[in-house]
């Protein structure tokens, strides 16, 4: 028995034909869906990139205790647990955040890893002189990516295609092996939305304006024609990585791997492309476009492949599902649920709710019919702390500005490892990060999936609050989070 996880970063569920999209071309994702059970109510947990991966690899929703950062010394990661069970693990990735400050110990827990360079700001191609950048542009243009893209002379040079090709090569070279876990992770279709022109031509793009392939996060700040253009650039980037995903599926066909391989296809989160008059992520409420994500699971010999499951699931359920199928014991720390019973038709439900969000921002809960976005009670966001034994965050160290306020101790109930308790808010100063999420919102997504019309219903809100509190307690949420949210 083998397992393969394919994770495409920033994959918008609602654009995929498998989930009702009608204009983006992803024939190989559709091809995979035909061989898989498609999950219709699958949700993120912690956002964005690294928090989502910590959830995926530990089976815990961690955003209420920590944001962006490395794997902790006390984390039981999927590759480590598999190793103890005698399973070899390998990751092929072009996700360069794994190798920046704040991304420690993810790839290193695999038996072996393979990194393909050049995405976004990866400090890869080195020139002392500054590269030329367009005089006119919308959004972001960063000098390191301008350096990197000079090495993309043909399609095969782009990092995403190289990643998929390397995964194919690994499968070819291990064709006779058994009992392994392979994670294939492509940064595409993450921004900057960059690919050979023939993919953009598929979308009849006639845009004549300034360069725009990397949106600023926040309110839409470009003309309508630029929004249409960047949506097509996203689609083109997705179609490119879909093409190379097809080569992975071809390899599985040729090597007859479907008969004994569990394959899970998913993402970390989505990306706003003008919906809600917003671009990107991180700054705004976690709308469905960001949190409601695709997942497909091919079960070897599964009689339910080709069907759909409407039960509520989320990213922390991936780890225990893999361990269950690989016959490896699930650690007590894991809060996710194995989906094997759903996949094999023995269960119709594993959870009542999914909670998701960013550390220190609004906390969100869904039961599949409603979404509730609980805002902080006060603009100073107090009290809010990060709990970590690895005080790093996004490309930086954590707590340098509040050194005298950091406490140490054993603060989390599921580990005796001593931690730093780093204040992320103070009552004597403003907290700017939450400025777009200070309004609590309730939506009926069964009738208003696009979340255009928040509703007022005191009885329903009380029920969603109970569901939120139950879910937060289940996740071992630090108690001050309840105070921060006015709960």
- What confidence tens digit (pLDDT) does each residue in 404-419 have? 999 999 999 999 999 9
204, burial (CB in 10 Å: exposed 0-12, middle 13-18, buried 19+): exposed
d(CA 474, CA 61): 10
Sign (positive or negative) of CA dihedral 410, 412, 414, 419 = negative
At the fourth CATH level, which superfamily is domain 2-343? Answer: Alkaline Phosphatase, subunit A (3.40.720.10)
d(CA 92, CA 112): 9
Check whether 340 has a pLDDT greater than 90: yes
Average pLDDT over residues 458-466: 98
Query: Where do we find the tokens 């782009």?
Result: 158
Strands 396-397 and 261-266, sheet pairing: unpaired
- What confidence tens digit (pLDDT) does each residue in 138-189 have? 999 999 999 999 999 999 999 999 999 999 999 999 999 999 999 999 999 9
d(CA 27, CA 105): 35
Model confidence band, residue 201 (pLDDT cutoffs 50, 70, 90): very high
Model confidence band, residue 432 (pLDDT cutoffs 50, 70, 90): confident
Q: Which of 113, 146, 71, 98 is nearest to 60 (CA)?
A: 71
Domain range summary for the chain, segments of one domain joined by + = 2-343, 354-484
- What confidence tens digit (pLDDT) does each residue in 30-82 have? 999 999 999 999 999 999 999 999 999 999 999 999 999 999 999 999 999 99
Strands 396-397 and 295-298, sheet pairing: unpaired
Asked if residues 234 and 14 have their Cβ atoms less than 8 Å apart, the reply is no
Check whether 430 has a pLDDT greater than 80: no
pTM score, whole prediction: 0.98
Q: Which two tokens stand for residue 150?
A: 């000079």
Helix axes 49-58, 318-325, angle to 10 degrees: 30
Check whether 261 has a pLDDT greater than 90: yes
State the Cα torsion 331-105-9-13 to the nearest 10°.
Answer: 20
Average pLDDT over residues 118-131: 97
* Coil, helix or strand at residue 442: strand
């Amino acid at each position: 028995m083998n397992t393969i996880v394919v994770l495409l970063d920033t994959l918008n569920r609602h654009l995929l034909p498998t989930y009702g999209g009608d204009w983006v071309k992803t024939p190989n994702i559709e091809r995979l869906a035909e061989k898989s059970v498609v999950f219709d109510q699958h949700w993120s947990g912690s956002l964005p990139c690294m928090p989502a991966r910590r959830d995926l690899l530990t089976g815990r929703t961690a955003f209420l205790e920590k944001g962006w950062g490395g794997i902790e010394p006390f984390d039981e990661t999927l590759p480590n647990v598999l190793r103890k069970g005698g399973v070899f693990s390998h990751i092929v990735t072009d996700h360069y955040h794994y190798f920046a400050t704040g991304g420690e110990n993810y790839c290193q827990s695999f038996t072996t890893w393979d990194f393909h360079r050049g995405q976004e700001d990866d400090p890869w191609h080195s020139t002392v002189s500054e590269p030329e950048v367009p005089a006119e542009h919308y959004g972001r243009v960063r000098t390191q990516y301008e350096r990197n893209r000079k090495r993309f002379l043909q399609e095969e040079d782009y990092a995403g295609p190289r990643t998929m090709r390397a995964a194919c090569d690994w499968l070819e070279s291990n064709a006779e092996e058994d009992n392994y876990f392979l994670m294939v992770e492509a940064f595409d279709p993450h921004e900057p939305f960059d690919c050979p022109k023939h993919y953009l031509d598929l979308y009849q793009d006639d845009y004549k304006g300034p360069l725009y392939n990397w949106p600023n996060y926040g309110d839409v700040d470009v003309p309508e024609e630029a929004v249409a253009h960047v949506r097509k650039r996203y689609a083109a980037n997705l179609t490119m990585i879909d093409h190379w995903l097809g080569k992975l599926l071809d390899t599985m066909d040729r090597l007859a791997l479907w008969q004994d391989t569990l394959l899970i296809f998913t993402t970390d989160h989505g990306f706003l492309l003008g919906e809600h008059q917003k671009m990107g992520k991180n700054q705004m409420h976690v709308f469905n476009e960001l949190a409601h994500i695709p997942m497909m699971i091919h079960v070897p010999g599964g009689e339910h492949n080709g069907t759909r499951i409407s039960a509520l699931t989320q990213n922390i359920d991936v780890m225990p599902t893999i361990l269950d199928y690989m016959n490896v014991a699930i650690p007590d720390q894991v809060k996710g649920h194995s989906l094997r019973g759903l996949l094999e038709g023995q269960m119709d439900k594993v959870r009542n709710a999914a909670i998701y969000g960013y550390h220190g921002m609004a906390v969100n809960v869904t039961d599949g019919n409603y979404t509730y976005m609980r805002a902080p009670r006060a603009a100073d966001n107090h009290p809010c702390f990060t709990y970590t034994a690895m005080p790093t965050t996004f490309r930086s160290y954590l707590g340098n500005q509040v050194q005298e306020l950091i406490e140490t101790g054993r603060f989390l109930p599921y580990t005796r490892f001593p931690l730093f308790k780093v204040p992320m808010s103070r009552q004597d100063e403003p907290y700017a990060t939450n400025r777009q999420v200070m309004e609590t919102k309730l939506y009926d997504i069964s009738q208003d999936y696009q979340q255009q019309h928040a509703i007022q219903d005191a009885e329903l809100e009380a029920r969603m609050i109970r569901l939120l509190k139950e879910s937060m307690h289940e996740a071992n949420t630090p108690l001050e989070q309840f105070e921060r949210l006015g709960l």
